[in-house]
Amino acid sequence: MAKRIDVSDLDIYYSKFLAVEGVTFSVEPRTVTAFIGPSGCGKSTVLRTLNRMHEVIPGAYVNGKVLLDGENIYDSDVDPVNVRRTIGMVFQRPNPFPTMSIYDNVIAGIKLERTKGVKRDRASMDAVVEKSLRGANLWEEVKDRLSRPGSGLSGGQQQRLCIARAIAVEPQVLLMDEPCSALDPISTLAIEDLIEDLKERYTIVIVTHNMQQAARVSSTTAFFNLAGIGQPGRMVEMGPTAKIFSTPTEKATEDYVSGRFG
């Protein structure tokens, strides 16, 4: 069920401002791809264009193509809501819905969006909740307090709850925007283990500022950088993680991963 992503010649604009220019890359199904690079270089912007989340910001638009298994998600007849159902997202800061219990948080995506063929009775909901929370390595910690508010959990647990919520709607691709940057090392380890499990079933793209994390979890790494002050961001190079961190082709990449820059 995981799908591949092909991006070609993608330019991303906020109104008239060209934020990211000329990005072309592919993501294979059931792999983990990491985006690294200095702050403000457009990693998160590129990630958000992969499920049309950047359109939430007024005035944002793109030129170019993003193909999901060959289907351009920017075609005029494509509904962004369907794109986001297929491509889930986990954010930097854990953001469980404060009015909902842990249980309701997990099934929020199913309950609030009617899809044909999805059963919504109590028993199948229970099954989805258990499966998703097990998938997010959170089941054992919360199984006795599913009716408690999700915002009462610790930061790391909240983030795993958000992952459970994202995988409950069974997306094809999972985008993660610095999912561990607000978490302590132990919670980070839990999330990284989880990414290791999730890649069996999902295509994962992760933005991270932590290069050890990129090296640990990803099989492919892409390095982003600004072309210069005031210039749009661009993808400098992309390749197998081992190669990017040992013998990158570009000098800028080598400077960044070895800590001489950025």
Enumerate binding residues for another protein (CB under 8 A). 51, 53, 56, 58, 81-86, 88-89, 91, 93, 95, 97-99, 108-109, 112-113, 148-149, 151-152, 162, 165-166, 169
The span from the CA of 167 to the CA of 174, in Å, is 8
CB of 85 to another protein, least distance (A): 3
Nearer to another protein, 82 or 258 (CB): 82
In the complex with another protein, the residue whose CB is nearer, 118 or 242, is 118
Q: Shortest Cβ distance from residue 165 to another protein (Å)?
A: 7
Rounded to whole angstroms, how far apart are CA atoms 192 and 69? 26
53 vs 257 by CB, closer to another protein: 53
In whole angstroms, the minimum distance from the beta carbon of 87 to another protein comes to: 9
Residues 6+ apart with CB under 8 A from 133: 106, 139, 142, 143, 161, 164
d(CA 27, CA 172): 12
Closer by beta carbon to another protein, 89 or else 194: 89
Dihedral (CA of 75, 23, 201, 169) sign: negative
At 101, which amino acid appears?
A: S
Q: How far apart are CA 113 and CA 132, in angstroms?
A: 17
Residue 67 beta carbon to another protein: minimum distance, rounded to whole angstroms: 19
